Amino acid sequence: MSNQEDLFKNLISHCKEYGFIFQSSEIYDGLSAIYDYGQNGVLLKNNIRQYWWQSMVQLNENIVGIDAAIFMHPTTWKASGHVDAFSDPLIDNKDSKKRYRADVLIEEHVAKIEAKIEKEVEKAAKRFEGFDEKMFRSTNARVLEYQKNVDDINARFKKALNENDLAEVKQIIVDSDIVCAISGSKNWTDVRQFNLMFSTQMSAVSENENVPKDKNEQILYKLFKESPDSVVKIEKTPEELTSLGFDLNSLRSREVTPDQFLEMTQYKCGKYSLDLINNIFNQKQKYVIEREQQNLLYLRPETAQGIFVNFLNVQKTGRMKIPFGIAQTGKAFRNEIVARQFIFRMREFEQMEMQFFIRPGTQKEWYEHWKQTRLKWHNALGIDEKKKRFHDHIKLAHYADAACDIEFEFPFGFKELEGIHSRTDFDLRNHEQYSGKKQQYFDPELNQSYTPYVIETSIGLDRMFLAIMASSLKEEKLEDGSERVVLSIPAALAPVKAAVFPLMGKDGMPEKAMEIMNMLKLDYNCLYEEKDNIGKRYRRQDAIGTPYCITVDQQSLEDNTVTIRDRDTMKQDRVAIDAIPVLIAEKVSLKSLLKKLV
């Protein structure tokens, strides 16, 4: 097992042991890729969200926030392209029955080759003095061979994705000798697309409610009633329909037109396509019966569409002038093919998104602006900058003319943390087309109306949580030979800002400690504890990332001073009780982070 795999397992174990993350419904053996945030996890998550929200809404006069509903009119997702295009390429290994995302298999294979290049560079840098990395990369035969392999795969992959050539995607996997991690074989199925949206129905009815009385209609009703799809197509020969009890002769002998039959059945059984009903009346050899399922809803796969459909509501009521942004945080749901890597890829997750509306033609300038602005936000947290990088998308989404990710080096490699996308006018233009309502902005400076372009920043809150935990969890060997586990979370994001301890649970120390606790808890989330010796209490707070531990002792009762211990340095200072709020505020307030952004 690699060192990184060990670190990741330790991280998962730490999250459970110290109340950060639990497996959802664990007493029932859990639910795949669904997690609950515990008492410390929810505090850290809320602090990350608040840091993002204040940096977006509070620091920018032209950005406001909303909270849109999870359920939206189903046509929203048709207009956004999710019904037709929101899918991932799926492939199975025939021997292990293991299911994979085909694009991830290829991306991980490329990442392994790129890792070989970096290893060659590191070896050469140690071997030669005055090492010229740029020259080495451009002249070393092995590096050039690796790079050519990467470029060739990426070029083929990009072309296959853009052309939706799933056979070529499979061929890339075969040609690259990619094997199943479980069986070790290359026995792959064909690649097929898998839509990621969860669907449900609104206004459920009882079994007997609205069931049609006509025998033919009852059969149609039964065929369609349980279908989970938004559009249902069923092909039946006359014989097959007859075997189900469908009386074609009776239907044709009715003195009604196809239009009348359509009108008669749509209320009870769903809306049937008129052309297909005509097939039944005209004695076609094969009948394709189609209908749109009534009351079908989707759990939103992204929060962005709630912003787009409220664009004019916000613009008009807020008297907003372009350029301006609308921010939102909230739950989203995706039926992931392969949900794995702890909370990195879940089926229920939380997004923090901002849509920035701009004049057409200025998207390149604003795209670069938001790339740098968002990187600055990440860097303000003090996480090693070498663990972050930009990665341009190989295939652009159906709505974008430019897109990149800020990737973070998780224990399992560099993966997407945040996306910055130039979405053009795709969303507003499509919502205008599908709704029949104009989604345009009148620009008083240009004296004309236009459909704004959009720059999107989209970050996964759960992934940000994982990135902070992964970069903060450390095992340190101390000078006395002992070890400690410390979670060096940025102090402003820490779940507990200060822990207050009486050295002993007697002689007035608990009362004095509670005075300090009551003073601090009005501004910060604090913790009071008097169980176990002081060393064990320090270690527990180190493990959950508490920046300060305040200890009340006998001297505190005499001169109103306490010992305050710093998590990172373990240094202990004697300070007056009255000085504690100012001292703590310098480090644990979100203001300490926000000041780095202005």
| Phi and psi at residue 322, to the nearest 5° | -70, 135
- CATH 3.30.930.10 is right for the domain spanning 1-71+303-475: yes
Q: Kindly state the average pLDDT of the residues 394-420.
A: 90
Over the stretch 443-494, which tens digit does the pLDDT of each residue have? Answer: 999 999 999 999 999 999 999 999 999 999 999 998 888 899 999 999 999 9
Longest dimension (CA), the chain: 103
For residue 356, report the phi and psi dihedrals to the nearest 5 degrees: -110, 115
Task: With beta carbons less than 8 A apart as the criterion, state whether 299 and 70 touch.
Answer: yes
- Distances in Å between the Cα of 33 and the Cα atoms of 26, 98, 336, 344 are 12, 16, 9, 9
Domain at 478-597, CATH class: alpha beta
pTM of the model: 0.77
The mean predicted confidence, pLDDT, of the chain is: 86
- In the structure encoding, which two tokens stand for residue 35, read together? 């997690």
**Residue ranges per domain, the chain?**
1-71+303-475, 87-194, 215-294, 478-597
Q: How confident is the model at residue 276 (pLDDT cuts 50, 70, 90)?
A: very low
C-alpha 504: how far from its chain's center? 46
pLDDT at 188 over 90: yes
pLDDT beyond 70 at 524: yes
Asked whether residue 187 carries a pLDDT value surpassing 90, the answer given is yes
Chain Cα centroid distance, residue 483: 35
H-run or E-run covering 402: strand 402-410
Instruction: Extract the tokens encoding 298.
Output: 């989707």
The answer to whether 348 touches 34, Cβ cutoff 8 Å, is: yes
The answer to whether 564 touches 579, Cβ cutoff 8 Å, is: no
Structure confidence at residue 209 (pLDDT): 45
The pLDDT tens digits of the residues spanning 58-78 come to: 999 999 999 999 999 988 998
Options 3.30.40.230, 3.20.20.70, 3.40.50.2000, 2.40.128.520; which CATH number does 87-194 get? Answer: 3.30.40.230
Give φ, ψ of 101 to 5 degrees: -85, 125
Q: Give the end-to-end CA distance of the chain in Å, rounded to a whole number.
A: 44
Under a CB-based contact definition with an 8 Å cutoff, are residues 68 and 59 in contact?
no
The pLDDT tens digits for 325-369 are 999 999 999 988 776 789 999 999 999 999 999 999 999 999 999
